[in-house]
Structure 1
Amino acid sequence: MGFAEEHLIPLVDDGLGNSAYLVDLGDGRALAVDAARDLRVLHAAAGRRGLAVAYAADTHLHADFLSGAVQLGHDTGATVLASAGGRRAFPHTALADGDEVDLGGLTLRALATPGHTDEHLAYLLLDGDRELGVFTGGSLIVNSAARTDLLGTDRTEQLARAQHRSLKRLTALDDGTAVWPTHGAGSFCSAPPGAERTTTIGAQKRANPLLAAPDEDAFVRQLTGSLGSYPAYFDRLTERNRRGPAVLTAAPALPALAAAQVKDLLADGGHVVDIRPAAAYAAGHVPGAISIPLRDQFATWLGWLLPDDAPLAFVADDGQDPGEVVWQAYKIGYERLAGRLAGGMDAWRAARYAQATTDFVRADRIGRRPYVDVRQRAEYAAGHVPGAVHVELGSLSSHVADAPTGAVVACGHGERAMTAASILERAGHTDVAVLDGGPADYAAAHGLRLAEGTEDTGS
């Protein structure tokens, strides 16, 4: 077939910072690459084009989402393609370096590209001898390479050296070969900020700073020195993807719960997650609930802050989609979803149960108070309030004692800070306030200049 740009359909998950791909093979069939368990967008895209997914390829054992390949095998009869080195425990076509799959006019060639994981494959899409593009997963990504510390700190350097060799191999492809990575901006698998999610081999030779490293040692220092923290659930999903996620025969639902049921769940060791906007949570919430507003990043913070083996109940506003909550949870392996509070906070108050409130204050209406910054380390280093206590949100539960009495908690806008305040309140800090804004707002209101660097008193 003659392959054109419109035959490739990127499917971007802005919350996790990843891209899956749907390739129209030209005969009513399609190839899916690195599809996640939430297949709604992929099925819709295939349906619009009248395509049936015939192949589902995974570049590696993903740590940041559950693969949708097994589900595609069930839904469409797709042949699952994956690395033989991954020892997956479900039916699949196991590929080794150099193996090729005839897609019916196009060819998919497996390229061993370890680094992000040991068993990582890139897939080179060929039209005859012409290199159309390469699905690089977590090897070569736009202006970077994916992190190499997910298998433990003792493996980080070894895998970084493997990543260096893999990038050298990929950049030996033709300069015009398209590069279709999985990880992109917003991914905790270590992609730099930026709008571009695809590129070419030639463009990366010119622009990727890792490829400009003079030797392997410099590459390793540069890559490993850029690694920040990552969500706790990453440590669980690789093995779940190796075993294969359970097949879903119907869309999972979120049952309605009475206020008394939510209260009992909390008392029995479950968790209440308030998905309303930060301001709504501040005005009144279930005591002990964790605030995680329903937005693109919901799954990341759910998986970072809460266990996957305890029942979860949710508090929502009218108009918020329960189905979105369910799919965001299921795509990262959270399936113990007890339900949602029927009637929301109105029902909680009608049952005459106590509610808690949190001060949510603009910078020009708050006095000088101890300042706790819960942003990521790179954000903090780029500009922070002088004297701020820095504790990343992901590690706050282990550092609640670092929050001074009467602190104002802040992030970039207020959502993560409200989550942090809910964690502190659950730990007994009842005197915290949340900044409605960011560090620049606070500095301007108090005549301060933002500081740079990473010196701080937190974690």
Structure 2
Amino acid sequence: MVTPTQVRVHAVVDEGLGNSSYLVDLGDGSALVVDAPRDLRAVHARARAERLRIRFAADTHLHADFLSGAVQLARDARATVLASAAGGRRFPHRGLRDGEEVDLGGLRLTALATPGHTDEHLSFLLSDGAAPVGVFTGGSLIVGSAARPDLLGPDRTDELARAQFASLRRLAALPGPTAVWPTHGAGSFCSAPPGAQRTSTVARELATNPLLAVGEEQRFVDTLLGSLGSYPAYFRRLGEINRQGPPVLDTASAGALAALPAAEVRRLCADGATLVDVRPVPEYAAAHVPGALSIALRPQFATWLGWVAPADGPVVVVRDPDQDPADIVWPALAVGVDRIVGELAGGLDAWAAAGYATTATRVLRPAQLAGEAVVLDVRQSAEYTSGHLPAARHVELGALADRAAGLAPGPVAVMCGHGERAATAAGLLERAGHHDLAVVVGGPGDWADSTGRPLVTGPDEAPGNPAASRGGEARR
């Protein structure tokens, strides 16, 4: 994107995590990158395309949803890391306080304290001379909303929500044409609303952002907190890893998978390793290693891997030959899944050739659900309450691992919006000892279209059918 003052700012979007990084052309062949992830492949590709050398790496806050790439850039590109002095980071960086400025060689970056999403959150105002160009708002003001204030625990949530109220009003006081460049966008579990727009202006947000229309602090707090849903368990540990600084990686070898013979994979699984099958759902359903988790390789792969795979145990991958190992390993590293020890050499064919058993999971279309005893809907609460099958039971996928053992035995058809999350849920149920499982390929809307029957809205109050009380961003 080219700003009105011809400053070139390039957004690098991660559709899976719902985030944006920004590469700023400083006009002398060098660049500033804001909120770069540990998976730097797209950032480096854009920098190469623009013939830019990364000289500065700025982080708006201690990210909970991904590991920062700033430490890696400091090692590989000798970039200067810019971040809040209040963040307590344990690695070399230039700590900034409210109002401090950084001369970027013609452009200027000014730190603005905007707590709320986190304690030490900074927004960075980019100026060309005396003219504000845009502001990198991180997890403060985002398009149509504000990022969630509950990541530091329930005892801090109200305080941080009130800080977010003040921070949004500080940003809204900037000149109307000032560009707004948030990190979190649609699809982020840091609570961006759905929508295609990932950047905005101060004037546009004043006209359209419902939170900026709420002038009373308590009503703002109630409105913001009422919009929050669940978030991945790994959010509770990545902030501290970012404070310490993620371990730097050997980028030449980090995206590779060691080939492990079937006997070794069998031994690792017996010792507690998690076997993750990244093949498309139909292939997993047709035949898979008993107990393997289906997490199909797609943009949302990293989120669900980080959410349902144990944080401290080894992971082994099963993939198709045409699936690139780098597209598995790098997204995993970005969410702190560092212990992928290798892949099943030769895939499922090699497993079967070694004489080891495989199993299958039934696949159903929504129209085939009439005879199923139990339909388990594993979507987020906001998705479920907006429309679900009559008598469907609800447990969010992120909570299923802890509750699978307590679910009644018997035939279960698992449903989400399309089938990928349902397949992951079926794997979790299989690991917990459930049998006679089916994956529904399609969602409640497909069921309503095929049967002509209406969906039910709101939470199901039936005994034994817990549904979370508040919604979150819909995730496919």
Q: Is residue 31–residue 56 contact of structure 1 (8 Å, CA) maintained in 2? A: yes
2:117 matches 1:116: yes
Instruction: Indicate if the aligned counterparts of 2:143 and 2:199 stay in contact, CA closer than 8 A.
Output: yes
What secondary structure sits across from 2:371 in the alignment? coil
Which of these residues, 329, 344, 350, is aligned with residue 326 of structure 1?
A: 329
CA distance in 2, matches of 1:258, 1:4: 58
1:454 to 2:462 alignment? no
Match of 2:284 in 1: 281
DSSP 3-state at the match of 2:268 = helix
Q: Which residue identity is paired with 2:244?
A: R
> What does residue 311 of structure 1 align with?
314
The one-character-per-residue Cα deviations of 1:114-152 (angstroms, maximum 9, x if unpaired) are: 000000000000111111000000000000000000000
Query: How big is each residue's C-alpha offset from its partner over 1:352-391, in whole Å with a ceiling of 9 and x where there is no partner?
Result: 1000110011123343322110000111111111111010
Q: Are 1:135 and 2:136 counterparts? A: yes
* Structure 2 partner of 1:336: 339
SS in 2 for 1:386: coil
2:418 is aligned with 1:409:
no
In 2 relative to 1, CA 258–151 (structure 1 residues): closer, same or farther, beyond 3 Å?
Answer: same
What secondary structure sits across from 2:154 in the alignment? coil
In the TM superposition, residue 447 of structure 1 has moved relative to its aligned partner by 4.3
Task: For 1:260 and 1:89, locate their aligned partners in 2 and report how far apart those are by CA, in whole Å.
Answer: 42
**Whole-angstrom distance in 1 between the partners of 2:124 and 2:3:** 19
Q: Which residue of 2 aligns with 1:209?
A: 210
CA-CA distance at 1:2 after TM superposition: 9.3
Cα offset, 1:454, TM superposition: 2.3
CA contact (8 A) 1:110 1:123 kept: yes
Letter in 2 for 1:365: Q
Deviations 1:86-129 (A, max 9, x none): 01000000000000000000000000000000000000001111
Whichever residue aligns with residue 398 of structure 2, its letter is G
Residues of 2 paired with 1:185 and 1:124: CA distance?
23
Partner-residue secondary structure (3-state), 2:342: strand
**CA–CA distance in 2 between the matches of 1:249 and 1:347?**
30
1:428 aligns with 2:433: yes
Corresponding residue number in structure 2 for 1:371: 375
Residues 35-46 of structure 1: matches in 2 within 5 Å? 35-46=36-47
Counterpart of 1:109, as a letter, is T
**Residue 290 (1) aligns with residue 293 (2):** yes
Aligned counterpart, 1:86 = 87
The code of the aligned residue for 2:446 comes to D
The CA distance in 2 between the partners of 1:290 and 1:6, in whole Å, is 46
Shift of 1:441: 2.2
CA contact (8 A) 1:389 1:403 kept: no
Aligned with residue 355 of structure 1, among 354, 358, 377: 358
- 1:404 offset after TM fit, Å? 5.6
| Structure 1 pair 403–146 and aligned structure 2 pair: CA distance change class (3 A) | farther
Q: Which residue identity lines up with residue 398 of structure 1 in the other structure?
A: D
- Give the letter aligned to residue 109 of structure 2: L
Where do 1:193-272 residues align within 5 Å?
193-251=194-252, 252=254, 253-272=256-275
Give 3-state SS (helix, strand or coil) of 1:399's partner. Answer: helix
The one-letter amino acid of 1:105's match is G
Partners of 1:231 and 1:158 in 2: CA distance: 22
Q: 1:339 to 1:5 in 2, by over 3 A?
A: farther
Contact 2:409 2:434 (8 Å CA) reproduced? no
Taking a change above 3 Å as real, the CA distance of residues 358 and 89 of structure 1, as seen in their structure-2 partners, is same
Which amino acid in 1 is paired with 2:182?
P
Tell me the CA shift for residue 205 of structure 1: 0.5
Q: Distance in 2 between matches of 1:122 and 1:2?
A: 18
170-179 vs 36-45, which deviates more? 36-45
Runs (5+) with no aligned partner, structure 1? none
Residue 68 of structure 1 aligns with an amino acid whose one-letter code is: G
Distance 1:162 1:127 in 2: 29
Between the aligned partners of 1:270 and 1:345, the Cα distance in structure 2 is 17
Cα separation, 1, equivalents of 2:340 and 2:233: 19
* 1:407 shift after superposition: 1.8
CA shift in 2, pair 1:265/1:272, >3 Å: same
**Paired letter, 2:434:** H
Instruction: Using the TM superposition, give the Cα deviation of residue 405 of structure 1 relative to its aligned residue in structure 2, in angstroms.
Output: 2.0
> Could you tell me whether the CA contact under 8 Å between 1:402 and 1:458 is conserved in 2?
no
Matching residue's letter, 1:330: L
Paired amino acid for 2:400: L
- Gap runs ≥5 in structure 2: 468-476
**Deviation sequence 1:385-411 (CA, Å, 0-9, x none):** 111101000001122223562121100
**In the superposition, relative to structure 1, how do residues 5 and 342 fare at CA in structure 2: closer, same or farther (>3 Å)?**
farther
Partner amino acid for 1:438?
A: G
CA distance in 2: counterparts of 1:145 and 1:403, whole angstroms: 40
If the length of structure 2 is used for normalisation, what is the TM-score? Answer: 0.94
Match of 2:470 in 1: none
Partner of 1:70: 71
Match of residue 388 from structure 1: 392
State the alpha-carbon separation in 2 of the partners of residues 338 and 126 from structure 1: 46
Whether the 8 Å contact between 2:58 and 2:83 is mirrored in structure 1 is yes
Segments ≥4 residues shifted beyond 6 Å: none
What's 2:472 paired with? none
What is the TM-score of this pair, normalised by structure 1? 0.98
**Structure 1 residue 45, shift from structure 2 partner:** 1.0
Q: Is the 8 A contact 1:385 1:448 kept in 2?
A: no
| Whole-angstrom distance in 2 between the partners of 1:407 and 1:187 | 30
- Does residue 10 in structure 1 map to residue 11 in structure 2? yes
Say whether 1:443 aligns with 2:443: no
Deviation, structure 1 residue 176:
0.5
